[in-house]
Structures are given as structure tokens and as C-alpha cells.
Amino acid sequence: MGLKQYNINFNNKILDLIALHGEDSLNEEGIKYWTGDKRFPHPIPFNKENKYAVLFIKKYAQILGRSLSIQSIDDDVEIIKIISKIKVEEYISQTINNSKKSFNYKKNNMIKEEKKAKMKIEGEKVNNFIKEINLYFESIDKNKNFYELIKLKNLIKMMNQKVMLNFYMPLQI
């Protein structure tokens, strides 16, 4: 837990800030972002030789241990041995991840909109076809062409089912 929190505080958040505002980035007014009181930050990845990094993890573990009634280790050498066994995953900036997610989200929305547009066009074509069939159906002499009427009625039913399955929209007959 302490190692994870150390990396969040002193490495990951700084990498996010650097990804958001690179060394030569400009603010809204066109002035260099890292001027005046703001100095370009440098991440501090964990190093077992850094006594302050080890102290941070030790104190973090002690505070967490006290709150959970767990006895903590005070020996720095023992803490370093335990920390050395922990594998730390390489951090990828959240700013970069979010921009990739945003791009994929926009791309997926565009694909959905294209599909909706195609469905609308196809639905209109099918509706027009069914209207034509209905007009033809009304024009048939019902006594002479009974077989033709049954065929048309079945064709309309099939078209309606196909449209409902493919386009998820009911047709008006």
C-alpha cells in the first residue's frame, strides 16, 4: 500500500501533469506554461537508496497498521527487502488514456450514427415498398385473384418481420 501511494504521489501525478502540460507548452494567452512560480516538475520514481522514499513507506505503513490494529515493521532493511519483492507496473498517464478513450468513444459514436442513418434509409425504402404493395393489394380484384392476395399478404408479413429483426423498428402497413 505504501509503495503504491508513494508512486501515486511522487511519480504518477507528476507524469499526468507533464502529459497535460509538456515542458514547452503554452497557456491560453500564448505564454509558456512553466514560468514564474511554476517550475517544470520531475517525477521521483521509487528508489530503495532514497532514505526519504523508504521513510514515507515506513510511516505510511505505521499509520495504516495503527488504524487497523496491525503491528508494523520498524527495521528499514526489512522494509527494503519486502519492497524489493513487489513488482511495480509501468505507469501510463491518465491524460493519455483518457484521450485514447475519448477518441474511441467518438469513433464508436460515428459508427453508431452511420448505422442509424443506414437503418433509416433502409427502413424508408422498405416502408415505400410496402406502401406500393398495399396500393397494388387494394387494386386487385379480390374475387378473381384470391391466390395473389394470399401471396401478397404473406410477403408483407415477411417484410415486416425482416425489418423488425434487422432494424428494430416496426413498420406501418
How do residues 114-156 score in pLDDT, each as one tens digit? 777 777 777 777 777 777 767 766 666 655 566 666 676 777 7
How do residues 44-100 score in pLDDT, each as one tens digit? 888 888 889 888 888 888 888 888 888 878 888 888 888 888 877 777 776 655 554
* pTM of the entire predicted model: 0.49
Considering the domain boundaries, does residue 140 fall inside one?
yes
Q: Which domain holds residue 163?
A: 111-167
Q: How many CB atoms lie within 10 A of CB 96?
A: 13
What is the amino acid identity at position 68? L
Considering the domain boundaries, does residue 96 fall inside one?
no
The verdict on 18 and 84 lying in the same domain is: yes
The verdict on 136 and 65 lying in the same domain is: no
For residue 131, what is its C-alpha cell? 406502401
Considering the domain boundaries, does residue 137 fall inside one?
yes
Considering the domain boundaries, does residue 98 fall inside one?
no
Considering the domain boundaries, does residue 106 fall inside one?
no
The verdict on 71 and 120 lying in the same domain is: no
The verdict on 128 and 72 lying in the same domain is: no
How many structural domains are present in the chain?
Answer: 2
CA distances from 139 to 35, 74, 97, 148, 172 (A): 82, 96, 62, 12, 19
The verdict on 84 and 146 lying in the same domain is: no
| Whole-angstrom distance, CA of residue 31 vs CA of residue 25 | 8
Considering the domain boundaries, does residue 173 fall inside one?
no
Considering the domain boundaries, does residue 64 fall inside one?
yes
